[in-house]
Amino acid sequence: MSKFFYRPIVGIDVSADFSVVAILAPDGEVYRKPFKIKHNRNGFDYLVDQIKKAEEEFNMKTAIFMESTGVYHLTLFHFLRDTFETCILNPLITNCNKNGDIRKVKNDKKDALTIAKIGKFQNVKYTSAFDIEIYTLKALCRDYYKFTDSKSTFKKKLSTDLKIIFPSYSSVFSNITCKTSIAILKEYSSPKAILNADKNELIDLIRSHSRKGLTYSEKIYKKLIDAAEEAIYIGLKSPSLFVKIMNTISVIETLENQLNNLLNEIHSLMKSNRISEQFKKNVQLIYSIPGIGELTAITIMSEIGNIKGFVKAKHLVAYFGIDPSVNQSGKFNSNKNTMSKRGTRIGRRALYAVALASIRTSRSGEPINKVLLTYYKENLNGKSKKVALVAIMHKLVNYIFSVLRNQKEYEIRDPKIHIKMYLNNGSTTAA
């Protein structure tokens, strides 16, 4: 039974510009017909008046329930939470309850009533926590990954266009968007322009941007001339294609500037007093796990928010969406179950990058994480790469939960020694 069973309940179906509100009396009956409020000052004040009228009539405090709808619910939730007990529901919970009637009817009024009934009659999980600065940090990290994806898209586009007019250019620079490559393309926009360029000027351009010696610059110059001669012979010759390449380079440079701005703001926010010391400590604890970079640690912690909301490690596993889905009916039990992927997508992406890093070795040959690399080679031998990486991600979530729960930095231990320590601690506690 819900702890709000004997109280009046307010259910709000949130949209972009307005919301529909339903109020249930303590006995479960509709207190008044669902009504619409606009997302402005008058609409919010009118909602507060209606809620206070219900509280005065029943002489009870209300509880307010609404869905998490991207960003649309944030202003209303932030406005109400200081005055009333306001709860946020996962849309997956409400979606499972919206089709409970025989008639196929869906509208905002019905959805508001459904949300109110879920809050009143069902013992569901909800959240009332909201930290503006943590939300801001999470939004900045998510924007960083979105701009990174956009940059990758335009890098592929640039590579495709160069294949048409400058086929051998990729043999000169392995990274066609490095500083030297971009400087050459901006200064000499076609193979013909490169062939007509002054040799010493072009070598000086390569040398100044690569920050390497004369020998390296002359070597790159020779490759560039050979590629340009080949492009004159087999490449397409259209001035409009060169304009297209210049536009793509301009977009890539703009995205790089935006990424630098986001990184600076993320680090600035982390150093400021607006972020709690406990959150900063938790970021450092995650950062202590080998294979996790500073930005990845900030991203993962901002997605988690408050670790106290997770009682067990498997709850955190489910939040990241790497728990296995279940498909079973009668005697049938599927053995081809995939990840649920119902949790935080950005957090899952960050974990995947860490999993890849954890099973690699450094330039000196030393493993990034000896325990995980051994586990990957010995215990996951024969598994497909994706299945093995999900297993590594699962291990990493357990590590993250442990360091945050125990408030101790990560310590690499041999699994056999760890099991012996665990058993000794258990026997000591029992004694």
- Reply yes or no on whether the pLDDT at 3 is more than 90: no
151, 256 Cβ separation under 8 angstroms: yes
Q: Are residues 126 and 157 in the same domain?
A: no
Q: Are residues 394 and 281 in the same domain?
A: yes
- The mean-pLDDT minimum among 127-136, 246-255, 405-414, 419-428 falls in 419-428
189, 237 Cβ separation under 8 angstroms: no
Q: What is the CA radius of gyration of the chain?
A: 29
pLDDT value of residue 99:
61
Domain membership of residue 163 as a residue range: 135-266
Q: Are residues 306 and 174 in the same domain?
A: no
Domain stop point among 240, 266, 292: 266
- Reply yes or no on whether the pLDDT at 430 is more than 50: no
- Reply yes or no on whether the pLDDT at 427 is more than 60: no
Domain stop point among 215, 243, 266: 266
- Is position 344 within any domain? yes
- Number of domain units in the chain: 3
Over residues 279-308, the mean pLDDT reads 95
In degrees, to the nearest 5, what angle opens at C-alpha 121 toward C-alphas 115 and 126? Answer: 60
Distances (CA, A) of 185 to 213, 232, 300, 360: 21, 16, 38, 35
pLDDT value of residue 93:
80
166, 227 Cβ separation under 8 angstroms: yes
Distance between CA atoms of residues 422 and 427, nearest Å: 9
- Reply yes or no on whether the pLDDT at 361 is more than 80: yes
Q: Are residues 141 and 123 in the same domain?
A: no
pLDDT value of residue 125:
82
Task: Read off the pLDDT of residues 90-101 as tens digits, 9 standing for 90 and up.
Answer: 887 877 766 666
Q: Are residues 288 and 215 in the same domain?
A: no
- Reply yes or no on whether the pLDDT at 145 is more than 70: yes
Q: Are residues 145 and 114 in the same domain?
A: no
The label of the residue with tokens 């335009």 reads 154
Q: What is the mean pLDDT of the chain?
A: 89
pLDDT value of residue 429:
41
* H/E element, 23: strand 18-24
pLDDT band at 431, cuts 50/70/90?
A: very low
- Reply yes or no on whether the pLDDT at 189 is more than 90: no
In degrees, to the nearest 5, what angle opens at C-alpha 156 toward C-alphas 154 and 157? Answer: 60
- Reply yes or no on whether the pLDDT at 409 is more than 90: yes
Q: Are residues 198 and 232 in the same domain?
A: yes
First-to-final CA distance of the chain: 39
Domain stop point among 113, 130, 147: 130
pLDDT band at 1, cuts 50/70/90?
A: low
- Burial degree of 50 (CB within 10 A; 0-12, 13-18, 19+): middle
- Reply yes or no on whether the pLDDT at 418 is more than 80: no
Q: Are residues 224 and 294 in the same domain?
A: no
96, 89 Cβ separation under 8 angstroms: no
Strand partners, 329: 332
Task: Read off the pLDDT of residues 155-188 as tens digits, 9 standing for 90 and up.
Answer: 999 999 888 888 888 889 888 999 999 999 999 8
Higher pLDDT, 139 or 125: 139
